[in-house]
Structure 1
Amino acid sequence: MSFLLLFSITNVFAQKPVTGRILGKTDNQPVVGATVAVKGTRTAVQTDAEGQFSLNVPKDNSVLVISGIGFEKLELPVAGRSSLGDITLNTSTSALDEIVVTGYSAQKKKDITGSVAVVNVKDMKAIVTGSPEQMLQGQAAGVTIITSGAPGGPSNVFVRGVTSFGSTDPLYIIDGVPGGLHDLNANDIESLQVLKDAGAASIYGVRGSNGVIVITTKRGKAGRSTVSYDAYYGTQRPLGGNPFHLLNSQELANALWKADINSGTTPVSQQYGSGANPVLPDYITPGGAHEGDASVNPALYNVDYSKGPIYQITRANKQGTNWFQQLFRPADIQSHTLAMSGGSEKSTYYFSLGYFNQQGTLLETYLKRYDVKINTIFNVKKNIRVGENAYIFFKSNPQIGYFGENVINYDYREQPIIPVYDIKGNYAGSNGPELGNSPNPVAVQLRTANNRGYNWDIFGNVWGEVDFLKHFTIRTSFGGTIDNFYGYQYTYHTYENAENNGSNGFFEGGGYNSQWTWTNTLAYNNTWGMHSLKVLGGSEAINYYGRNVFGTRINYFTDDPSLQVLNAGSPTGQVNGSGARQATLSSYFGRVDYAYNDRYLLGATIRRDGASPFGPDKQYGVFPAFSAGWVISEENFMKDATFINYLKLRGSWGKMGSYANVPPSNSFTQYNSTPGNSNYDINGTSNSTAQGFYNSSIGSLVTGWEEDKLTNFGLDAVVLNKKLDLSIEYYQKKINGLLFQDQTSALVGGATVPNVNIGDVKNNGLDFSAVYHGTVNRDFKFNITGIVTSYKSEVVNIPGAGGYFESGNTRIGNFVRNAVGHPISAFYGYQVIGYFKDANDVAKSPTQADAAPGRFKYADLNHDGKITDSDRTFFGNPNPKFTYGLTLNATYKNFDATIVFYGSYGNDAINYTRYWTDFWASFQGNKSQNLLYNSWTPTNLSPKAPILENASTFSTNTVPNSFYKESASFFKCRSLIVGYTLPADLLRKVSVDRFRFYVQASNIFTITKYTGLDPEISGNTNAFGIDFGNYPNNQRQYLVGVSLTF
């Protein structure tokens, strides 16, 4: 005991305290949060709000390694001193020494030979949203993101374009474990990288085909504990005015009269009379009634089916209901994150609590999320480390349906003469003569108020690693995710609609999805002389399993929310069921990186994957990749080129695969048993049945991997005394055996067909990024970041006689044809070349069904003198020619400002709302101002809509044609932030390290020619860019926020 005590005392006294203060050389201001480490040990601390530090060193000749974000690393000998005084760090205007987390490892940015986009997390968080993937828009070259304005709504994320008929979602790796970025608290993100080519992403094999986004969350650092609080609160303002450019009540009545006259009939209306001009009634139910009419009898009022026939009294809204402004309202948004971190030489920790609440501007839409993040690391010994990451969140996020018709469509389908409520305060609607058939959109949304949908997720991993034999590290990680979901919704028995007033009903369901991932790696890392070698080998096993259960009943005797449970409904016609899903992936992988003299770089990767969704002969695939880099600036012949600080040429080639579009049971033929579908009279009588089975899905044993071949060439440069960082890349991607459900003959029956390898696609493009670091003087600095993304996809092969398949279904047919020689999701139909001027024009033009003056004239592309299916053509492309982002940052003394722009050029959209608003015959909803005031007439030579008439015809509104196509190019100012940080000497008096407050405006303006709500139109990959009335993402936000550290 005495010996142990003496040894401990001796060891303590061997430690020598050293203090100092870190300052920036440019402005002579304290560097907060810089890391001061003892070289060759794991002893490290961080500087405080005054840039000061204190730590123990084991020897008088110890060397301190000092580093900070935005500064060059400095090694400083202690040389027996106890106080090092003021230490200045040079500003690092280049991020070449930045450590970038890639596939299962990390590299310095300057050593990377693959294509990796490093995202500035601070700039990314300038976008206000609850979905971090939307924050990536315009922040990474090669990444195209189409966003939705709905709280928690889906986004299309394309890494280097659209190269699949199904899912294009990239693989998200969070702290080494596959997961989802959608619900991560952005304040917990430390770094984010996008792996874009085979050289960087092929180590993830079949999961990396659509790109890989690698996220590292925040960790604690040795030193004193810190507490931070980040919050903002603001309001969101819906689009103002009349965004669909619709008519008011009198104008709509006038349009009816004009349509009848143009159609050769005498205007007569139960609502508006039969005079020379339409007269608005006082009541629309009873139809066309006026004050004092006997038909208006409040004593007969009834909206309860159980009490007799429906008799509703509704006053006409003669000024006109602006349904958009009734459905969309100003809404609040707020976010709060409280985080604590710290640690010692033995352990570090990071802990955060988050709350996000975004009320949607659309009634009864919102995202509420509560989250907890825990990250700990323990240095068990000098060479042994263990740790864990855990992220837990609970959210409620009702959805409206985004890629088709939804409640927003009812804004322009409900007539303006219909008010929101009738004389008794109940919902008004189209249940009257000549009022169309649209539901009341306000009623639809408000009736969802008691519906619920919940998700409760646990995500994370535990890991351990051991250094041994000097250059080796072995690591194991076990983690995954459990997603529990539950929800219920009640369908009310409506009375106010012209149709679909069905019975009430209730749905309730829930389940879970679970996935575990076990990864083991062995790494070798050694540098000798001018050689550097890194070798990594590993194995990975992934197991997915999910279950769900649901039940529905109808005919509830009351709509009382307290009785909305399954047992309260009628068992007659009930439906219930459950399901289960399972899939596994087993993999082995390896990587080698070699560098000679920091000048010549080589990399090689190989991965072997085996996946359960494929048949026995198709389950395994091998995916290699090779990359190389040449740091030209290190060559002797470049020494006189002093304006070039760094220049690297790199290239890569490799194979990857994909099975993202293959369901777990794809290789199995399945059978089901459902009453009414599989019961058989096998006993020879008319009233005895026995349960049988029917073929519910067809399996495929020949379906195999998508095989992707990727080639990439890149040039990275730092020039002008490290003020300008440049990167440009050209890539080509060829995808063979695209996985998708093939079109099958109706003879197959109702069975679900399998996903098979049905086509080939190629894609090429350019990525460009530039960052300029400017310093005007010690008080005024700025950064300018610009990115450009360009891609061009083309379908190379689709088996079958036609060489195409169609999608983008609407009420008038498919607007999209995916065909050989054209991009994915290209628009297809008849090309409108003008309007028939008169009967003579009709007579001398190619034969066209329903041709008449004022109707569309289609192009006769095969010159056979008649318009047929053979004259349909490709007339639009939703894929942009390029997208671009521009971020400007500036600081002046304690003030800071950030402004973010984003744009898209060359992309088209189908404005399908015009089907409802620009043709009188397309149902009896509201109509556009163009139809009444700028439609075709014999004297209007430049119409914006065809003749206002009653007929639905081939030559107007019954087939897809180019009338609906509009340019969807846009330029948006996404965000403007102005902040102020209180002086450190003032904060020191109240023991606060940092206090910053700011004001922010988002979606300040959108410049576009598109006439719909928002030119950003998401959708399914093989049919995006079709606007059914998307939830707009150009609504302004105004916020105030604070960031506090103590």
Structure 2
Amino acid sequence: MIHYLYHAFFLTCGLLFFCQTGRADLIENKYHSSYSISHSYVAADSIEIRGKVTDSAGMAIAGVVVTEKGTSNSGLTDQNGEFKIAADPNGILVAIKSGFKNKEVHVNNQKLVEVTLSSGKAEAETETTTDSVPQQPDSAKVTVAPDSTGTVKPNITDSSVVKQDSSSKIVSGTQASVSGIVNGPKGPLPGVTVTIVGTNQATNTDESGKFQIAAGPKNKIKFSSIGYRSLTQTVGNRKDIRVVLSSETNVLDSVQVVAVGYGTMNRATLPSAVSSIGANEIKDEVLPSITQAIQGKAGGVQVTQKSGSPGGGISIRVRGTTSINASSDPLYVVDGIPVNSTTNFTGGSTFDFGGGTQGINVLSSINPSDVQSIEILKDAASSSIYGSRAANGVVLITTKKGVAGQSEFNFNMYEGFSQVPRERYYDLMNTEQYQDYMKDYYKILQEKDPNATIPDQIFSNSNVNTDWQDAIFRNAGTRSYELSARGGSEKTQYYTSVGYMKQGGVLLGSDFNRLSGRINLNHQHNDKLRFSTAINLTRAVNKRVQEENSKEGATKSGIFSPPNLTVYDASGNFAYDQVRLTRENPVAMLTLPTNEAETFRVLANVGAEYNIIPELLLKTSFGTDISFIDETFFMPPVGLRSYASQGGIGARRNTRDQLWINETTLTYDKVFGDHALNALAGFSVQESRLEFVHGQRSNFPNNDIPYITAGGVVTGANSYPEEWAIASGFARATYIYKDKYILNANVRSDGSSRFGADNRWAIFPSFAGAWRLSEEEFLKDSKILNDLKLRASWGITGNQNIGNYASRSLYSGNSNYLGMAGFIPNVLGDRDLKWETTRQWNVGIDAGFLNNRISLLADYYYKKTSDLLIGLPILTSSGYINIFTNSGDIENKGFEFELTTKNLVGEFKWTTSLNMTFNRNKVLALPEGLNEMRGGVGDLNRAIVGQPLGVFYGWQANGVNPQTGMIDYLGQDGSAVSPTDYKDQRMIGDPNPSFFGGITNNFAYKNFDLSIQGQFTYGNDIFNYNLASGLEGFNPSSNQFVDFVDRWRAPGDITDVPRPAPGDLSNGAVSSRFVEDGSFFRLRNITLGYTLPATVAEKIKMKKLRWYFTVQNAYVFTKYRGYDPEVSSSHGGANTGLIYGYDYGSYPQPRIFTTGINMTF
């Protein structure tokens, strides 16, 4: 690491020396650029006004601030004196220019305004007040000149009538000339409006950010500029005032400005496909993890909650799955740091003792309330700046920053509870139905084996009727408390927060709590040098349970426990199934074990920026992501039969995951006339080290001492370090002409330690272009179409999400030979191993209609991933098990759109946001010699050339045979077959949806607000393994679904439910019988809020007080019979990219009710 910092230091010094000794006479940069905000929010019913400002001699005046009175909307005249502004059709425009008299003019639905300013001293400027003016033609000319009394008289041509007010305001008190400089985050700010509060006196800063104005000691000066937060200061005895305006990008507006990696761009001139989610869109949601904020809100982005467990994992796919063995997860970047979203190991031990948990969602350590915006970079043009890690898209998370001005405190709290929706319960037989079914079961068994006996348990306790789902589920409390503060001076701004959240799990024994703290600091040392710091500390504790389980998971086989058994026996101990001896008591399985993960995480980033010249910015940063994970596992010796013979099992694992990154960029940002150029170059060096220590023992004396020191027999001990590094150089250039024509190019060169010595470096380029047709003359005056932009892009990105040593030959330790520990060959290395490569092109359109009351973003894309990173088995005679190589192709193509409409804009407001994605996935090629690749339990999922990735393969069920009562199966040729030969399997389902998306409706009336969010998926299949367990009729004591009430009982019966089949697994074979339609529409979030009127809030010393009530997962409309149609199983072993779309007893997603308050001081 040190040698990289050494090179970074000298490169930085060299850049500084070169730039400081370069040309000093470069033209000053204008105040706006394509990488800063250049527009403000305007009312939904505003109109676009164009005009020109001239002096009394008819000469154009540049640099005139034209603002809409009473709002922050403003514009600046160009070199031709022309301006453009969106304003209320009944509003008032004010023209301000140092050395000229201010001027006001009513809009009156005018779309073209010509303004003449009269010269005069700034300190003698007066304010013109006018009453309403009759509606004018589309073109009106206004001149302003003082009369003999000093009153400004506006004259409007075309027979306009103006009523004048002779009153005017002037600056009072002893005045003196006050000068100063206004800076922004990147240096001096031209065009800032400098106003004496309470008067009409104003000026604006020049190209160097300098201003001069007459003011008295008691006067207050207000500094305002579009894209920046206004700042007001009292003059006092100062003659020189220097201020720093905080960019509005600290509160990024998801419609106007988007983060694009190493900078921001205006949405209007963005040539690539980026989805944005702002803080306002998530501030009223109850979000345990920030990844849940993306669900149903971005086109092309499918978010699947892997589990309903607190702190459980999330699967995010950006424009489809692209790999079979490598991860298809996107890259996550938090405040410039590429972070680890999961903790994975190439080797080592796991805690999967007979069951599955969904692991640790590392991103759950980020408090969602600290997040200001989320951007998803979807096409190659936007994501290729991250090169080798961008094939699956990039998720940029920007946290809140401080702002100059008075401190603001915010306190938010909520309390609530969660439950499994009763309508989602499986419908199992009661005791009466169960014992009737068992009569048939044992009758058939004794017909096959006359010596078979019926266990006493089967027909005992007929008055007991235990609902095991009620026994394992609970109503669980959830609560959250958060306190944040933001503010600062003109030089230093801060944002800090502390939060605590506890979410109880609806399965006994599970919960998640998080304690987090954050501080973000920005400091302006001088006009050129700025520093920033962002630090996030989190402690999270996740109590997990065995959910998906091949043995005795509570939501898998546990719910099929006999209903005539009680949870506890007469002595108060757990009762057990005495017929199936391997079955655990489901309540015992949830409450007796310990499976806990405690995570302490530090996310920190420090940076410095230096304006070498106004156009040239040097920026360097150093970031770290450090996680310490302490996992404890204990299966007690008493109460769990599966572990009694071993005397219980205890294990402990400590994991340390450390990441360091240093990045330095040089940005040139220049506007000259109609041309704007932004160019960036930089380098990045990142290192990561992961290490764990694992110990495991058995033979514990009792349940009361869970520490591994109490175990009498050492059954495992391991320590395993892993390291990887990546070095990169990158560049980007964006050229904009007349805000109409946009060209963009990116290139990144990455070198990764994960690949073979001969293929460690690769280059990832991209190109994009856009044409804003709405800026062309033939569309400028359209009353219907306000904005129209066509986009196109092409690029190459990579994927390196494989094991850290996949290119090297590996040995496996802990092998015994003649009583001696040793190593054996495991993985054969490949020096030619290289990146998965994704080539993608994209065409899109951005459009706005009816004064932007309707806005649309739509894209069609094509992605082809080549040189798949695939692990292939090899002959055991080689001494190795498998080898990683590059082979195979997958394509994803589709259409996506995001549509926003402002349906009502009056006192009652109603807006709708809808997004939909239609993605098609197909396997184009597999490694030579392979016809298919398999994954999942029972080899359910397949990769077959010409078919979608992950399709289900099994036997085709053909109903119940009326004569035998057993399920009939059809072979590929339509003939009857037995479900034993894999050659007879066929495709029985496809887990890939035809389309998915989300819809949000927001309503507001006076102080009330209502938000209703929906999420949907259509056309995907789910293989329901619980359905197989509940309809197989095989087990001698298991309860079954209530379907068996209508089972086959005698030859000739016509039914779709077979008879019991003791000793015969054929009815439960992997078949189309258990494939269900996974389509659903979920009412994901309903929130009702009430905000106290501001006048009332002020009386109790508050700025804002809001109460809200929220229901999450309010209802799911679906035909699926499982707990929830949103499933993403973690079982299946190899070829993880194939494994999705089946339910192996997943943790149910709860319905959550919460109520809370938000207070701002």
TM over 0.5, yes or no?
yes
* 8 Å CA contact retained: 1:699, 1:753: no
Map of 2:847 onto structure 1: 717
Give CA-to-partner distance per residue, 1:886-932, whole Å, 9 cap, x none. 10111111111101111110010001112221122146321111123
Map of 1:972 onto structure 2: 1082
CA change 1:653–1:74 in 2 (3 A) is farther
CA distance in 1, matches of 2:70, 2:977: 85
How much does 1:1039 deviate? 1.1
Map of 2:1018 onto structure 1: 905
Determine which of 665, 676, 680 is the counterpart of 1:532: 676
CA distance in 1, matches of 2:926, 2:703: 52
CA distance in 1, matches of 2:700, 2:558: 29
Q: In structure 2, the residue corresponding to 1:407 is in which secondary structure?
A: coil
1:699 aligns with 2:810: no
After superposition, the CA RMSD in angstroms is 3.3
How much does 1:934 deviate? 4.2
Alignment of 1:511-550 (within 5 A): 511-550=655-694
Give CA-to-partner distance per residue, 1:151-181, whole Å, 9 cap, x none. 0111111111111224221111111111244
CA distance in 2, matches of 1:198, 1:337: 38
CA distance in 2, matches of 1:878, 1:784: 29
* 8 Å CA contact retained: 2:510, 2:543: yes
Determine which of 427, 438, 453 is the counterpart of 1:256: 438
CA distance in 1, matches of 2:580, 2:977: 38
CA distance in 1, matches of 2:198, 2:984: 73
CA change 1:544–1:1031 in 2 (3 A) is same
How much does 1:617 deviate? 0.2
Map of 1:105 onto structure 2: 263
Alignment of 1:470-485 (within 5 A): 470-485=614-629
Map of 1:154 onto structure 2: 313
CA distance in 2, matches of 1:520, 1:961: 56
Q: Which amino acid aligns with 2:730?
A: F
CA change 1:832–1:404 in 2 (3 A) is same
CA distance in 2, matches of 1:598, 1:922: 71
Map of 2:1139 onto structure 1: 1023
Map of 1:846 onto structure 2: none
CA distance in 1, matches of 2:328, 2:225: 42
CA change 1:384–1:490 in 2 (3 A) is same
CA distance in 2, matches of 1:119, 1:271: 62
Q: Which amino acid aligns with 2:941?
A: V
Q: In structure 2, the residue corresponding to 1:60 is in which secondary structure?
A: strand
Determine which of 878, 886, 900 is the counterpart of 1:757: 886
How much does 1:733 deviate? 0.3
How much does 1:1037 deviate? 1.5
Map of 2:920 onto structure 1: 792
Map of 1:624 onto structure 2: 765
CA distance in 2, matches of 1:21, 1:648: 31
CA distance in 2, matches of 1:858, 1:279: 32
CA distance in 1, matches of 2:793, 2:662: 29
Determine which of 452, 459, 483 is the counterpart of 1:280: 459
CA distance in 2, matches of 1:454, 1:53: 60
Map of 1:769 onto structure 2: 898
How much does 1:27 deviate? 14
Map of 1:824 onto structure 2: 949
CA distance in 2, matches of 1:370, 1:378: 27
* 8 Å CA contact retained: 2:665, 2:683: yes
Map of 2:789 onto structure 1: 648
Map of 2:41 onto structure 1: none
172-181 or 58-67, which moves further after superposition?
58-67
160-169 or 598-607, which moves further after superposition?
160-169
Map of 2:1064 onto structure 1: 952
How much does 1:251 deviate? 1.9
How much does 1:413 deviate? 3.1
Give CA-to-partner distance per residue, 1:398-455, whole Å, 9 cap, x none. 233566543321332322122111111111112x2x346311111011113x553210
Q: Which amino acid aligns with 1:384?
A: L
Map of 1:504 onto structure 2: 648
1:410 aligns with 2:557: yes
CA distance in 1, matches of 2:632, 2:388: 36
1:224 aligns with 2:406: yes
Map of 1:176 onto structure 2: 336
Give CA-to-partner distance per residue, 1:618-677, whole Å, 9 cap, x none. 1111011010001111122224532000000101000011111x2112222233443xx3
Alignment of 1:362-441 (within 5 A): 362-400=507-545, 404-405=549-550, 406-430=553-577, 432=578, 434-435=579-580, 437-441=582-586
How much does 1:487 deviate? 2.2
Map of 1:806 onto structure 2: 934
CA distance in 2, matches of 1:740, 1:401: 30
1:65 aligns with 2:195: no
CA distance in 1, matches of 2:89, 2:566: 64
Q: Number of residue pairs matched?
A: 921
* 8 Å CA contact retained: 1:967, 1:1009: yes
CA change 1:718–1:776 in 2 (3 A) is closer
CA change 1:782–1:864 in 2 (3 A) is closer
* 8 Å CA contact retained: 2:1020, 2:1078: yes
Q: In structure 1, the residue corresponding to 2:1073 is in which secondary structure?
A: helix
CA change 1:551–1:28 in 2 (3 A) is farther
CA change 1:616–1:530 in 2 (3 A) is same
* 8 Å CA contact retained: 2:941, 2:1139: yes
How much does 1:753 deviate? 2.9
* 8 Å CA contact retained: 2:1105, 2:1160: yes
Map of 1:131 onto structure 2: 289
* 8 Å CA contact retained: 2:647, 2:701: no
* 8 Å CA contact retained: 2:504, 2:511: yes
Q: In structure 1, the residue corresponding to 2:603 is in which secondary structure?
A: strand
Give CA-to-partner distance per residue, 1:103-159, whole Å, 9 cap, x none. 211110111111100114333345433111122110111110111211011111111
237-246 or 460-469, which moves further after superposition?
237-246
Map of 2:246 onto structure 1: none
Q: In structure 1, the residue corresponding to 2:911 is in which secondary structure?
A: strand
Q: In structure 2, the residue corresponding to 1:206 is in which secondary structure?
A: helix
CA change 1:907–1:97 in 2 (3 A) is closer
Map of 1:245 onto structure 2: 427
Map of 1:306 onto structure 2: none
- TM-score, normalised on structure 2? 0.75
* 8 Å CA contact retained: 2:512, 2:540: yes
Give CA-to-partner distance per residue, 1:34-69, whole Å, 9 cap, x none. xxxx9953399999xx99999999532999535589
CA change 1:363–1:801 in 2 (3 A) is same
How much does 1:241 deviate? 6.9
Q: Which amino acid aligns with 2:1010?
A: A
Give CA-to-partner distance per residue, 1:69-100, whole Å, 9 cap, x none. 9x9x999xx9xxxxxxxxxxxxxxx9797121
Q: In structure 2, the residue corresponding to 1:771 is in which secondary structure?
A: strand
582-591 or 968-977, which moves further after superposition?
968-977
Q: In structure 1, the residue corresponding to 2:709 is in which secondary structure?
A: helix
Q: In structure 1, the residue corresponding to 2:309 is in which secondary structure?
A: coil
196-205 or 123-132, which moves further after superposition?
123-132
* 8 Å CA contact retained: 1:146, 1:155: yes
Map of 1:860 onto structure 2: 971
Determine which of 870, 890, 895 is the counterpart of 2:983: 870
How much does 1:727 deviate? 1.1
1:1012 aligns with 2:1137: no
CA change 1:1016–1:55 in 2 (3 A) is farther
How much does 1:22 deviate? 5.7
Map of 1:815 onto structure 2: 940
* 8 Å CA contact retained: 1:436, 1:924: no
Map of 2:1148 onto structure 1: 1032
Q: In structure 2, the residue corresponding to 1:250 is in which secondary structure?
A: helix
* 8 Å CA contact retained: 2:836, 2:869: yes
CA change 1:334–1:170 in 2 (3 A) is same
Q: In structure 1, the residue corresponding to 2:1059 is in which secondary structure?
A: coil
How much does 1:884 deviate? 1.7
How much does 1:690 deviate? 5.6
CA distance in 2, matches of 1:577, 1:262: 51
Q: Which amino acid aligns with 1:1001?
A: V
Q: In structure 2, the residue corresponding to 1:381 is in which secondary structure?
A: coil
